[in-house]
Amino acid sequence: MVLAALVPCFLNGTLDIHVQLEKELAEYVGKDEALCFSYGFTVNSGVIPQLVGREDYIICDDRDHASIVDGRRLSFATCLKYKHNDMEDLERQLQKCSPKSVKLIVVDGVFSMEGDLCNLPEIVKLKHKYDATIMVDEAHGLGVFGRQGRGVCDYFGLTDEVDLIMGTFSKSLAVSVVLSLLIKLLLTGCATMLVLISLVLLLLLLLNSLCA
């Protein structure tokens, strides 16, 4: 039997399958807990404002995704931006912050338009130097980078240093799963012309998802 809640948990309640999914997701990315939202955009726009108060700071890369920008705007915190992957500029922004306030660095693991990775090792160094917190958006990294597609944080071996990891099923993770299944069909000789065409289309979708 397959059951579908079709609505968010806060409307229809939390089912056992939700709890199991969150447990397996947490184990997959190497964190203690996970929380599922209806879709990825609401994670950044909904969670970020809850992590900081009026006396706190959000520091973002100026190429961060629009959902991060919306989350930043919905907060009461002071918002600071640093030049794309410029660690010297990030440090300048951190120096502007009050030492006793929350300093939340929010960054894309893979930048969707540029296609490059965040400089996570240097961000972690600055985190410790200025007592900051790190949130990484892995929407374009899960399924592609790291061991078994665990993302950019795992790729750098810094999962334990990142305080919050955001991901989604709709981008690189989803495409990589379907793509791997099609490749298995191809290698086992079970592929038809339709499968081969689907494989080409999914390769194009994968490229598009990394740039969306």
Catalytic residue IDs: 112, 140, 171
CA atoms within 13 A on the CB side of 179: 18
Residues 138 and 127: their CA atoms lie apart, in Å, by 19
Nearest to 34 by CA among 210, 43, 92: 43
Instruction: Tell me if 146 sits within 8 A of 154, measured CB to CB.
Output: yes
Q: What are the CA-CA distances from residue 22 to residues 25, 61, 63, 121, 211 (Å)?
A: 5, 28, 29, 27, 27
Tell me the CA end-to-end span of the chain in Å, nearest whole number.
Answer: 35
Burial of 6 (0-12, 13-18, 19+ CB in 10 A): exposed
CA angle (135, 22, 131) in 5-degree steps:
20
Instruction: Tell me if 161 sits within 8 A of 131, measured CB to CB.
Output: no
